[in-house]
Amino acid sequence: MSCKVYKGNIIFTPTLHAFEVMENGYVAVDENGIIEGVYHDIPKEITEWEVVDFGNKLLIPGMYDLHVHAPQYRNQGMAMDMELLPWLEKYTFPEEAKYKDTEYARVMYNHFVKDMLSEGTLRASVFATIHPEATKLLAHIFHEAGMGAMIGLVGMDRNCPDIIRNTAQDVVADTRSIADEVRDMPLVSAIVTPRFVPSCTPQMLEALGRLTEELQLPVQSHLSENKSEIAWVKELEPESSCYADAYYRYGLLGQTPTLMAHCVYSDDKEMEMLKSGNVFVVHCPTSNCNVASGIAPIRKYLDAGIPVALGSDISGGHHLSIFRMMQYAQQMSKLKYAETDGKMAFLSLSEVFFLATKSGGSFFGKAGSFEKGYDFDALVIDDAPLNEANTEAGAEPYTLEQRLERFVYLGDNRLIEHRFVKGRHL
């Protein structure tokens, strides 16, 4: 790659609390795809760099999906007529079982990754299945697309049908094998992935905890999504002080970078564990609606300093767009606000944008912001169709923040014109 300067209407969130907005600004990107700086005027030192002008379009960081089940792609947007536990039994496990067939996986995973990129998601942390071949294939598909991914071969050895059950030995060997496979894929890595406590025996959790420590791998799983699930964990792991503790005791919560999806019902004790382990709460608002889990108290987590990112959670969630997740995250927080008579403040647009970009991106390194030293992960949004009426009527032009908000709420993948991952144009 050569050094480039990208010109456009720049919006990003260095912090939760406010947008950094620059009309007709410049983002300079070096030959390694790393951001040199953001400028109102091109500095003297780099006047020779090629300028790519995106005109009046919006130039924003990419989206990061921190919780998604690739093998549930076929069920996306349907089969949401029950709560989590029966839903897993009836719809999810049978679909995942099909990924024993690597050819089936090839077709579905290719479509899945293509759709994800189309929605502006540039990197994702992904649950695959128990099948090592299909899981390696998924890693290759992300790599070839030029996208970033953490790939998790799923461990599950209890309370599930035999066809998607593996063993502690399997999941350890297969996770090692995935880690080997992705060694030469700079943006792809392996992540330790116990499905969730009800699916994993203490033996499996222990084995995965040891592997995590040995290879210093990150971990992802599910936590406190649903009341029946929490009650079940209490029965299964009576020695744990809370659901989170059932991971922590085995070295799977905060000992290395950790993602815990949902956290709809985490209590103060659990919040303390999340905080002290710097564990990411991955908020999946559409999923929490669709499988009738409830509303996660994201404001509480942010106030407590717990990191939060967003996840599509296909196919509990129905849509891959992280812009859509921003929208739902705000909306759910407003329902919490109403429920608490205004005591729990709702999330602002800059806050949900931060979760979708800089916060989620931080799990992959320096990604999700336009600050110096960050990977240039970016989207170019051509929102002209959303402004037509306003322009024609001669009304006051929308501000850049308003344009972004309208894109988040009204736009879709038709308006995403370019995608860059670490400086590379995909």
List the beta strands (DSSP E) in 202-283.
Answer: 219-223, 258-262, 280-283
Pick the closer one to its own copies by CB: 175 or 287. 287
CB 223, CB 130: distance < 8 Å = no
Name which of 39 and 104 has its Cβ closer to its own copies: 104
Quick one: 235 or 389, whose CB is closer to its own copies? 389
Least separation in angstroms between CB 331 and its own copies: 4
Least CB distance to its own copies at residue 104 (A): 5
Nearest distance in Å: CB 322, its own copies: 15
Which residue, 52 or 79, has its beta carbon nearer to its own copies? 79
Q: How far is the CB of 111 from its own copies (least distance, A)?
A: 4
Cβ neighbours of residue 372 closer than 8 Å, sequence gap 6 or more: 35, 36, 37
CA distance 217 to 221: 13
Could you tell me the smallest distance in angstroms from the CB atom of residue 155 to its own copies? Answer: 25
Q: List interacting residues with its own copies (CB under 8 A).
A: 73-74, 76-81, 98, 104, 107-108, 111-112, 227, 286, 289-295, 318-319, 327, 330-332, 334-335, 337-339, 341, 346, 348-349, 386, 388-390, 392-395, 398, 402, 405-406, 408-410, 412, 414
Distance CA 286, CA 264 (A): 12
Among positive and negative, which fits the CA dihedral 104, 110, 113, 114? negative
Amino acid making up residue 11: I
Residue (232 or 337) nearer to its own copies, CB: 337
Q: CA 148, CA 191: separation in Å to the nearest integer?
A: 13
Q: How far is the CB of 88 from its own copies (least distance, A)?
A: 16
Please say which residue, 18 or 107, places its beta carbon nearer to its own copies. 107
What 3-state class would DSSP assign to 338?
Answer: helix
Q: How far is CA 172 from the centre of its chain?
A: 24
In the complex, least distance from residue 316 CB atom to its own copies, rounded to whole angstroms: 11
**In 225-314, which ranges are E strands?**
258-262, 280-283, 308-310
Number of Cβ within 10 Å of residue 24's Cβ equals 14
Q: Rounded to the nearest whole angstrom, what is the least distance from the CB of residue 339 to its own copies in the complex?
A: 7
Crossing angle of helices 132-145 and 102-118, rounded to 10°: 30
- CA neighbor of 245 nearest in space, from 274, 284, 210, 288: 274
190/68 Cα distance (integer angstroms): 15
Comparing CB distances to its own copies, the nearer of 210 and 334 is 334
Q: Which is nearer to its own copies, 224 or 369 (CB)?
A: 224
Packing angle, helices 384-392 and 400-410, rounded to 10? 120
Phi, psi (5° rounding) for residue 258?
-135, 140
User: Rounded to whole angstroms, how far apart are CA atoms 228 and 387?
Assistant: 47
Q: What's the min distance (Å) between Cβ of 28 and its own copies? A: 31
**107 contacts: CB under 8 Å, gap ≥ 6:** none
Cβ proximity to its own copies: between 195 and 324 the closer is: 324
Beta bridge partners of 420: 378, 425
Residue 32 CB, nearest distance to its own copies (Å)?
A: 35
Residue closer to its own copies by CB (options 28, 284) is 284
Enter the tokens of residue 336: 């919490």
Residue 21 pairs in a beta bridge with 11
